[in-house]
Amino acid sequence: MAGKSTPMMEQYHALKQEAEGCLLFYRMGDFFELFFEDAKIASGILDIALTARGKDQDNPVPMCGVPVHAAEGYLAKLIKAGCRVAIAEQVETPEEAKIRAKKEGTPVSKTLVKRDIVRFVTAGTLTEEALLEPRRANVLAAICEVRGAIGIASCDISTGQMILQRCEPLDVNASLAQIGASEVVAPEGFNRAIDDVIERPRGDFGSDDGERQLKAIHEVKTLDAFGDFTREMLAAAGGLITYLDHVGRGNLPLLLPPQLRASDAQMAMDEATRASLEILTSQQGGRAGSLIAAVDRCVTGAGARQLADDLAAPLCDLIAISERLALVQYLHQDPLLRADLREVLRALPDIGRALGRVVAGRGSPRDLGQIRDGLAEARRIRDFLSQKSDHPTLLERLLPAMGGHGALVDLMQRALVASPPTERQNGGFIAEGYDAALDELRQVSGNARRAIAALEARYREDTGIASLKIKHNGVLGYFIEVPPKHADALMVPDSGFTHRQTMASAVRFNSLSLHEEAGRIAEAGGHALTAEEAHFEDLTDQVIAARQAIAATASALARLDVSAGQAERAAEGDWCKPDICKDSCLDIAAGRHPVVEAALAASDDRFVANDCALSEEDRLWLIGGPNMGGKSTFLRQNALIILLAQAGGFVPASSATIGLVDRLFSRVGASDNLARGRSTFMVEMVETAAILSQATERSFVILDEVGRGTSTYDGLALAWAVVEAVHETNRCRCLFATHYHELARLADSCDALSLHHVRAREWKGDLVLLHELAEGPADRSYGLAVARLAGIPKPVVSRAKSVLDKLEKGRAETGGLAAGLGDLPLFAAVAEPEEESADTKLRQQFEQLDLDALSPRDALELLYELKRTAESTEI
Ligand code: ADP
C-alpha cells in the first residue's frame, strides 16, 4: 500500500481525486477504510484507533476503518462534524475480477477488484432514517447571482419539497437564515459572505439548463403551472439539480414541483432576530429552551417539520393566516374530535420520508409498507372528518388531498405482508395469495423442508442414532450431523452417507436424498427471490408514478397535525385566537412569554401577564426598570406573540389584536452577547443600522438595552439618536428597553412615544421584582439591590452605596448625565422613598445595646420598648 505504484494505491488515489474534498470510505471486505489525512481526521472525530499500513517502516500510511454494518452511525457523526463522505464500493466480485484478468491477459494476482464511488453522503442530501432527525427538515440550498439579483433554490430531499425564491443581495443572509439549510452550494467565486459554501462549477448554474431539467423531471412542456420563475431562480435550480445528480451519481432523489416563495409573502426576519428570539434553537444551540420546543405539540415528525417551517416563515397574507387560524379554532372548540384525530395521527408512519427513500432508489419493503399504511390511514381520517359539518376552508382543501390512493393502497395491501422487513435481499415481504407462481415456489420449498424433517426422523430410525440431526449453515448448506462416537456407523462405504467434515464435537455427512431436497429448496428459493424482487420493482414504480399525490397527502396530514397541535397547546395554556388586521396596532391583553412561563411553571412559579397597547399615536414604548425586572421578557413575548399569530396559531394572551407586521426585528444590547466572543459593540451597531435602514411603518421592532455596549456617554447618545430615528423616520411599532433614565426626556419631544417601567419594591431591605408593567418612567435602577440579590458581599455593596451617594450628589449639583440636553428638568423621579422600616430601627437599637451592662429589670423594660417600636413602624 505504501509503495506508490501498487495497483491498490493507484486505484485509491484516482478515487480520492474524484471525491473532491470529501473523506473517502474505501471498501475492503467488511470494512470501509480511510487513509492518509482522511484517516487522521476521521479517527479524531469518531474516536477510533488510528493505525498504520504498509511495509515501508519509515513511511507508513495512516489508516483507520469502520465496519460496514455499523457505517451509518459513523457517517452520522462525520456529517454532524461538518464532513462530507464519498463511498467507494466494490463493484465486482473477486470471481468477476479474476475472469476479467484472464480476459485482459493480466496476472490474476495483480488484479484488483473494481471500485467506484457509488454515492456522496453530505449533510444536505441524506435520506436514511437513522441519519435524519424526525422532527427537523433537512434542507439543501443552491444560490447564485444573475445580473444583480440573487436566486435561491432549496429542497428537502427527504420529502422532495422544493422552493424557489429570489432576494436582494443585501438580504442573502436573512433568506438563508429563514431556509436554515444544512448545506449550501454556490458557483465558484460566489463573492457574498456566506459561511461554509460548497463551490461547484459555474457552468452548473445556467438558467436555461435549470428550466430544462425541471421540465424533464416533471414531464411538462412549460413551468407556468408551477409559478412564474425568474432567471436567477432557474439558474439556482439548475445548480441544485446538477449537484444532486453529482452526489447521487446519476440517481436523482425525489423532487416535487417547485413552489415559488414570493419575498413579500412572508414576514421578514434576519439572522440576528431569529437568534435573539430563539425560534427554532435556543442561544445554547439546542431545541430545548426555544420557542418551538414550548409550542410544538405535534404527534408526527412531519407535523413538527411543518411547524418549524411555519415558525421560520410566518405569513404576511391576511387570508392565508385567517384560514390557518380558522382550522386551529375548529379543532380547538371540539376537544373530542381533536383527541381522536391526534390519536390516529400519532400512529401514522412518516410517509413523506419513506417516499423520499423509495424515489432515491434506497427504499425498502418496510418503506412501501409505511406508504401503504399511511395512505390507508389518511383515507380513514378523511372519511372520519368528512362526516362532520361546517368545515373551515383550509380543511375543505386538505380533505381531497388525503384520498385518491384507493387502487394503490389496495394493490399494496394484497401484495405486501403486514410488516415488511427493512432488508429486501432475503425476500419474505410479498404476501401469500398475491402471486400464484410465487406461492407455488414457496410450497415447493415448504414441501422440501418438510421432506427434510421426515428424512431426519427416518435416518434416526434406520441408524438407531437418536442424536442424529439435519442442520443448515451458510457454508455447507444442509448436512447430517452425529456425535463422533456414532460416526463410524455412517462411514461404512454403503451406508448411503458421504462424509463431509469432522469436527471435535461432531461429524457431518451428506446423503443423496438430502442433496436432492436441499437442491429443491435452493432452486425454489432463488426463483422466489427473483419473483419478489420483480414485484418490489413494480410496486416501487407505481409508488414513484404517484409520488406527487402521495406527497400531497403527506403534506395535508402534516398541516392537520400542526393545526391540531396548536389547538392542543392553546387549550393546555389557555391561549387565544388572535385578530389580525391591517391597522398599525398591537393590542395584547395579559400576554405571556411561552418559554419563560413554561420554565417558571416547572419550578412552580407564576408568570405575571402584561398588556401591550401600541397604536398609530402611541407606537413607541420606552421601558425602564431594574435589571431582572422582566423588560427583555416583555419585549420578546410581544414579538413572539406576533410571530405565532402570523404563523397561523393561537397566542399566549387573553386577547390579541395584531396589525399585520411585514418585518420583525429584535436586537439585544451587546453585553448579552459577550459570551459569544464577537466584537460585541460593533455587532450591535451593525445590527441596529440594519433596522434603521429596513424597518417600515408596518414593521415591529424590539430593542433591548441598545447602547450599553460602550461607555455611558456614547451609549446614551446612541440610544437617544436611535429612538429619535425610529420614532421620526421608521415610524414602526417599537418597544425599547433601557436603563438610561435620561431617555425619558424624549417623551417631551416625541409625541408617539410613551414611558413605561417594570415595577419593583424594596421591602425590608430586599428588592422585590414584581415583573409587572406600569405606566410612567422608572423611578431608579435598583442596581445595588439587584447586586445584593445576586450575592455580592455586603461590604462591597455598602462601599458601592457610598460611591453612589457621592455620584448622585454630584449629579444633583451639575444637572447629571443629560444636563446639556436642554432646559427640560430631569424626568420626574417618582421614587418611592425607602421607608425607615421596623427592621432598620430595631437593628439600630440592638446594635447600641450593651448586654453585659443590662440588669434583668432593664432587660424587661427594653423588651416592652422593642415591641412598641416594632408595632409603631410596621408596614
Ligand atoms: P430584564 O430584561 O429586565 O433584566 P428579564 O426579562 O431578563 O429582565 O427577566 C429576568 C427574569 O425574571 C426572567 O428570567 C424570569 O425568570 C423573570 N421574569 C421576567 N418576566 C416575568 C414575568 N412577567 N413574570 C414572572 N417572572 C418573570
Task: Tell me, using a 6 A CB cutoff, whether residue 628 lines ligand 1.
Answer: yes
| pLDDT at residue 864, rounded to an integer | 83
CB 347 within 8 A of CB 378: no
C-alpha cell at 725: 430615528
Supply the pTM of this predicted model.
0.80
| pLDDT at residue 838, rounded to an integer | 63
**Which of 592, 607, 611, 628 has most ligand 1 atoms within 8 Å of CB, for mutation?**
628
CA nearest neighbour of 706 among 727, 730, 723: 723
Instruction: Give the integer Cα–Cα distance in Å for 84 and 247.
Output: 10
| pLDDT at residue 874, rounded to an integer | 46
Q: What is the mean pLDDT of the segment spanning 164-192? A: 87
The pLDDT tens digits for 435-444 are 999 999 988 8
The pLDDT tens digits for 325-342 are 999 999 999 999 999 999
Q: Whose CA is nearest to atom 6 of ligand 1?
A: 630
- The model's confidence at residue 7, banded by pLDDT at 50, 70 and 90, is confident
Q: How far away, in angstroms, is 668 Cα from ligand 1 center?
A: 15
Q: Whose CA is nearest to atom 18 of ligand 1?
A: 630
Instruction: Give the integer Cα–Cα distance in Å for 625 and 610.
Output: 15
Choice among 73-82, 266-275, 418-427, 759-768 with the minimum mean pLDDT = 759-768
**Highest-confidence segment of 51-60, 320-329, 685-694, 805-814:** 320-329
- The model's confidence at residue 709, banded by pLDDT at 50, 70 and 90, is low
| pLDDT at residue 342, rounded to an integer | 96
Task: Tell me, using a 6 A CB cutoff, whether residue 782 lines ligand 1.
Answer: no
Q: How far away, in angstroms, is 627 Cα from ligand 1 center?
A: 9
**Which of 771, 781, 782, 789 has most ligand 1 atoms within 8 Å of CB, for mutation?**
771
Q: How far away, in angstroms, is 769 Cα from ligand 1 center?
A: 9
**Which of 605, 606, 610, 633 has most ligand 1 atoms within 8 Å of CB, for mutation?**
633
Cell 435520506 sits on residue: 127
Strand partners, 854: none
On the 0-12 / 13-18 / 19+ scale of CB atoms within 10 A, 766 is exposed
The DSSP string of 41-81 is HHHHHHT---EEESS-TTSPEEEEEEEGGGHHHHHHHHHHT
Instruction: Give the integer Cα–Cα distance in Å for 823 and 802.
Output: 29
Q: How far away, in angstroms, is 578 Cα from ligand 1 center?
A: 24
Choice among 248-257, 436-445, 785-794 with the minimum mean pLDDT = 785-794
Type of residue found at 333: Q
Task: Tell me, using a 6 A CB cutoff, whether residue 366 lines ligand 1.
Answer: no
Task: Tell me, using a 6 A CB cutoff, whether residue 771 lines ligand 1.
Answer: yes
Q: Whose CA is nearest to atom 20 of ligand 1?
A: 630
* Number of neighbours of residue 455 by Cβ within 10 angstroms: 18
Question: 3-class DSSP state for residue 866?
Answer: helix
Averaged pLDDT of the chain: 88
Task: Tell me, using a 6 A CB cutoff, whether residue 633 lines ligand 1.
Answer: yes
Q: How far away, in angstroms, is 763 Cα from ligand 1 center?
A: 19
Per-residue pLDDT for 773 more than 50?
yes
Strand partners, 120: 86
| pLDDT at residue 824, rounded to an integer | 36
Per-residue pLDDT for 833 more than 60?
no
| pLDDT at residue 132, rounded to an integer | 84
The pLDDT tens digits for 631-676 are 999 999 999 999 999 999 999 999 999 999 999 999 876 554 444 4
Instruction: Give the integer Cα–Cα distance in Å for 642 and 67.
Output: 50
Q: Which residue has the higher pLDDT, 557 or 473?
A: 557
Q: What ligand 1 atom has the least distance to the C-alpha of 599?
A: 16
| pLDDT at residue 344, rounded to an integer | 94
3-state per-residue secondary structure call for 346-378: HCCCCHHHHHHHHHCCCCCHHHHHHHHHHHHHH
Task: Find the helix or strand (DSSP H, E) in which 91 lies.
Answer: none
| pLDDT at residue 826, rounded to an integer | 33
Q: Whose CA is nearest to atom 25 of ligand 1?
A: 607
The DSSP string of 2-53 is -STT-HHHHHHHHHHHHTTTSEEEEEETTEEEEEHHHHHHHHHHHT---EEE
Q: Whose CA is nearest to atom 26 of ligand 1?
A: 607
The pLDDT tens digits for 454-466 are 999 999 999 999 9
Per-residue pLDDT for 475 more than 90?
no
Task: Tell me, using a 6 A CB cutoff, whether residue 608 lines ligand 1.
Answer: yes
- Per-residue burial over 145-169, b = 16 or more CB atoms within 10 Å of its CB, e = otherwise: bbeeebbbbbbbbbbbbbbbbbbee
| pLDDT at residue 830, rounded to an integer | 34
Q: Which residue has the higher pLDDT, 146 or 832?
A: 146
| pLDDT at residue 135, rounded to an integer | 87
Per-residue pLDDT for 2 more than 50?
no
Q: How far away, in angstroms, is 686 Cα from ligand 1 center?
A: 27
CA nearest neighbour of 742 among 829, 672, 801, 814: 829
Task: Tell me, using a 6 A CB cutoff, whether residue 638 lines ligand 1.
Answer: no
Q: How far away, in angstroms, is 273 Cα from ligand 1 center?
A: 19
On the 0-12 / 13-18 / 19+ scale of CB atoms within 10 A, 500 is middle
The DSSP string of 176-189 is HHHHT-SEEEEETT
The pLDDT tens digits for 579-592 are 999 999 999 999 99
Q: What ligand 1 atom has the least distance to the C-alpha of 626?
A: 3
- The model's confidence at residue 710, banded by pLDDT at 50, 70 and 90, is low
Q: How far away, in angstroms, is 389 Cα from ligand 1 center?
A: 45
Instruction: Give the integer Cα–Cα distance in Å for 392 and 323.
Output: 7
Rg value, the chain, Cα:
37
- Per-residue burial over 715-724, b = 16 or more CB atoms within 10 Å of its CB, e = otherwise: bbbbbbebbb
Q: What ligand 1 atom has the least distance to the C-alpha of 705?
A: 2
CB-facing half-sphere around the CA of 162: CA atoms within 13 A: 26
